[in-house]
Every structure is written in C-alpha cells, then in structure tokens.
Structure 1
C-alpha cells in the first residue's frame, strides 16, 4: 500500500473579476500521508478555504484552477489528478473517498429533508445496503458526535436543531462512509468547548483506527497543537512554513509563524498588552512584489523584494521542515 495519499504541487486558484485577477492560492505545495492530520492555519483571507474547495472540486465561477496538480493516490499506488478529473468521476469520489465538513452546516444540510433521509442517501449513493443497515450506521455516527437520543433526531429536520447540533449532524454525515480524506473547514467554530473536545477526540480516533487523513483548516493554533501531526502555515496564498507540529511549535522559523505564536493569549506576559502582527494582510488582488509578508516584517531586507524559495531547515534527519524565507536561518537557529 502506498503511504502517500495526497500530493498538491504548484496549485494556483484564481478568480477573474472586473477589477482584475485575484490570486487566492498562488503556488501551494502539500503532501499528506494516510492517517496523517494536517493543520492548515493562517489569517482570514490567506487562501485556506479556497485550497480546500480546490481539492474537493467545488470551485464556482469566476474561480478556476490556473495551474498545478492535485494527485490523489489509491491503495495500489496509482494516482489520479483531481484537477483534470471529470465532474462525474469527481462526484463518485466526494462523500465516499473524500469528504468535506463545511464551516456553515447550512451549506451541507437540506432544510426540507429529514436527517435520516439525508444521511441514508449519502450511504446509498456509494454502497448497496438495506434501509435498516443504513439507519444503523447513521445512528452510530450520530452517537459518535455526541447527539443524544439519535433515533428521535434521525426523524427531525435541520431547523429543529441548534446551530451546534446541525454542525454535529454535518460532521456525522461526513464520516459515514469512512473516507480516506476529510477536509474540515473550521467545523467546530459554532460548538462549545466540551463538545468541541469530544468532536476532536472522535475525529482523531477515526484517523488512527481507519487510516483516514485529515486536513483541519483553522486559525486556532492552540487547537491544532493538540490535534495535528503536521502544520502548514499559509499567508497570502502561499505556504510559508510546514513541518512536524512539535518542531514548528517549539522552534518556528518564519517571522509570520512567530507572530502567530506570539498572538496566542496564553503566550502573552501577564499584564502586558496582547501582541499583534503590525499592519494588515494584503489583498489577493494587489499583492506586494517579492515576499508578501515583507511590508509587515521587521527582518525585511532588499533580498525580500524577490520571492523566496522553500528550504528544508529541519533539525531531525529524514524529517522536512520547509520554510519560505530569506532570513529563516537567523531565527531559532
């Protein structure tokens, strides 16, 4: 069995508008192994969600994939490029081998259909089974995400649930077919802390037991630190730092990653004002030349007027810690 599940190379996702081309994703490289959990973090507008939609083939006009490849590997090691896959074949993959959990459950639940109808349909569309078998699997999935009285809830409509309960139904639906890859776009934002912890535990357990890989899109570094095996930090459409979660959190090398770490309230000295990265993230429509973080970076130099290449600065043999910065070797060296 091939260990690699997903390989994204040079992904470019652009939106052509009247005012110009918005380069939301501008050369993203990602590699994900089976059973691995990747935390994709960054500020709002950095391109995290668009990367997820690109992998799922859910872009709508005027969005388009302008370049790059998204290779999804089978268990025999053969790969398909999701960029060039027909819509019919992509539909066969979605919900079965690849699933997505959206930030807003309203985008994934039909308001006029009962929960059992929607969950059983997700099962019947990819496998042959009886209605009783489908309901049993749906009931177990609701149990796993902490929904009480699942038999009663299966007969309910989405509007009869709270926002947090609807999100749990959406998560349960995504894990029904035990997909090989789940892309989760900040799915626990609407949940309270105790339910969030339960969801994270179940998702992590699913990945460990079934070999499901997970891309968890978030801006919450503290959440990622307890969930992910690997982290990828995104800024202005590019991955600026990626590596094992323990190594990156212990010794971040990119100035932007360091800024994000300092911004965590628990890392702030008591009685001192909360740290914030100076300036604002640039618009994807009007990116600065060279390194996009240059206008906000205290280490910026003339070299930063050109785009830095990603370099491996790992301290552990056989482990990649890629950083896209000219001055990364000066930090935590």
Structure 2
C-alpha cells in the first residue's frame, strides 16, 4: 500500500476577473488528506470552500482560473496535466457530489442509461456488467427496489432519492477521492443520517478519501476525522475534529461554535459574530477577521502566517486561544449572525 497521501493541496490560489477587480476566492490554501480519511471543510457562505472543491476537480469556469499552487493527487500535480488526462480521472478516480442532484442527472434519460454510460466511459464492461454494477451501487446506498429505480426518470424520484442516485453515480468506480459539496443540505435528517453512514462506511472499507464541504458543524462532528475552517478565501484553522470543536484556537471558529443553538441557554439570545463578512474584492491588508474580532490588536494589521501552536493544530492568528482565559470573539446580542451557518440539533 502506497504511503503517498491521496491528496496534497499546496498554496492553492483561484481568482475571478471581474469589472470591479480581481476576486481571490481561494487564497493560499494548503492541506493534506490521507487515504481513507474524511476532511470537513466548513465556513460561512462565500468563504471559498465550494470554489476550493471545484478547483481541485479542475471544474472552475471562466472568468475564474487557478492562478497558483499545486494539487497533488497521489503524488501527481493534476493542475499541470492535459485536459484529456484530467477527464480520465474525473468521475473515475476523483468524483464530485453536488448540492443539486440535477447537476449530475440528465432529466431526459432514465437512471439506468446514465449510470451504465458512467461505468462504460471508464471501463470495458459490457452493458449487462455495467447495469449490474449500477444496481449493486444503488443497493449499497440503501435504495430499496434498485431495479425499479434504474427504470425511472429523475423527475419520477423524490428529491432525497435523486440525491442518493447522484451519490451512487459518484461511487460507481469506488474512487480514491470524493469531493462532496453540501449534498445533504436539502434532505431531512433521517435520510441525511443514512447517507452519511453509507459514505463513512465507504471511506473505512474502500480506503476512499473524502472532502465534505458544509456549513453544518453537527454533520462535521459526526462524520469527519479532521476539519478545516475557511474564512475569506483562507483556511484559518485546521486539526482533528474533536480537538478543533472542543477547543477552538481561532476566534472565528469559536464564534461559529458559540452561535450554535445547542451552545446557548434556552430562552436566551443566540451568541453572534459582530459585523459582516468582508467584501472579497476589497479585503483589508491584514487579518480579514480583525474588524469582527475582540482579540484584535495593532499586530493584526499584518497578514498572519499559518503556525502550529499545538501538535497537529494549524491556525492563522496572532492571538490563538491557548488558554481558557483568552478573550472571546463573540459579541453581545444584537450583532449580525454568521451567514449560512445553521446547525441541525
């Protein structure tokens, strides 16, 4: 078994050219994902987490483009390979699950047609063999009567069933890496829990590495091995999921956790992060979170580098909360709540 990590992202930068200027959606993002591990990529809406996933997949469309850094898939920089070689990896060794299943499913083709084509695009399997693999994968996802589902058109399935089919399609080739962009956000908690269980089982049994992009910390807490918190295009904190959620070092991470309903007394106002997310076209020269942070000092006018103040804990902050007495970044009631962060508890 190879000791090379499944994925190494090094100083990744993705920019969008607009009439108002250059928007740096992903700015110097780095992380490593070992085989069979699950990384939760979390943050507010607009923090850059989805663009990070699209950049890794090579799916950033104009006017956006990857302008720097490396994406090493099993040791090979896939930002430098030819488009034909990249297409051989996409959907085969690397798969993506989208929030909207209709980005995966063609509304005018039956499910079996689409899944059989997905199998045969990357293998020499016969039509019968491809159909059997599709049926087995649907059953693996807990879909009852898989033969009937194969005969259906997407519009004949419920929203939850369509998402299961889309996830099953991504899993057809037992890929080495799956990037999931909030695929269970629109599903009820029962269906969500079943899908998360199946995905976690796949990672453990098949050695598949998984990046789960979400704003839901409760999902990350139950699913991921590691977590990376993004803010304004950068990863501001990363580490083991239990360590980060139990003892956050960055004030933004602390603010997200503190704003969860479960972490507030019944009947009291929710704790909130003051201010608004900065304009990505006009980011301040220093720490992007400084204007919202109770710990900010003059040092925060410079851009903080990533440090490792504790073993296995990486953070971009001049004042990480290394002691229980560190001041909180959460404001008094009445401030603006973080955008896009909703916990299902």
Identify the TM-score tier after normalising by the shorter chain.
over 0.9
Deviation at 1:147, TM superposition (A): 2.2
Separation in 2, partners of 1:3, 1:283:
38
Aligned to 1:323: 315
Separation in 2, partners of 1:203, 1:125:
23
Of 164, 181, 185 in structure 2, the residue corresponding to residue 185 of structure 1 is 181
Alignment partner of 1:60 is 2:57: no
Query: Superposed, which structure 2 residues align to 1:292-307 within 5 Å?
Result: 292-307=288-303
Aligned to 1:76: none
Query: Superposed, which structure 2 residues align to 1:63-74 within 5 Å?
Result: 63-73=64-74
Residue 167 of structure 1 contacts residue 190 of structure 1 at CA under 8 Å; is this kept in 2?
no
Query: Superposed, which structure 2 residues align to 1:11-50 within 5 Å?
Result: 11-50=12-51
Structure 1 stretches of 5 or more lacking a match? Answer: 74-78
What secondary structure sits across from 2:279 in the alignment? coil
What secondary structure sits across from 2:6 in the alignment? strand
Aligned to 1:237: 233
Of 225, 242, 248 in structure 2, the residue corresponding to residue 246 of structure 1 is 242
Residue 251 of structure 2 contacts residue 321 of structure 2 at CA under 8 Å; is this kept in 1?
no
Aligned to 1:267: 263
Residue 303 of structure 1 contacts residue 326 of structure 1 at CA under 8 Å; is this kept in 2?
yes
Separation in 1, partners of 2:223, 2:8:
21
What secondary structure sits across from 1:70 in the alignment? strand
Residue 146 of structure 1 contacts residue 195 of structure 1 at CA under 8 Å; is this kept in 2?
no
Structure 2 stretches of 5 or more lacking a match? Answer: 327-345
Alpha-carbon RMSD? 1.2
Separation in 1, partners of 2:165, 2:144:
12
Separation in 1, partners of 2:322, 2:42:
23
TM-score normalised according to structure 1 size: 0.95
Deviation at 1:207, TM superposition (A): 0.3
Aligned to 2:115: 119
Alignment partner of 1:220 is 2:212: no
Aligned length: 324
Residue 47 of structure 1 contacts residue 237 of structure 1 at CA under 8 Å; is this kept in 2?
yes
Residue 185 of structure 1 contacts residue 217 of structure 1 at CA under 8 Å; is this kept in 2?
yes
Tell me which moved more, 162-171 or 91-100. 162-171
Deviation at 1:148, TM superposition (A): 2.1
Tell me which moved more, 143-152 or 182-191. 143-152
TM-score normalised according to structure 2 size: 0.92
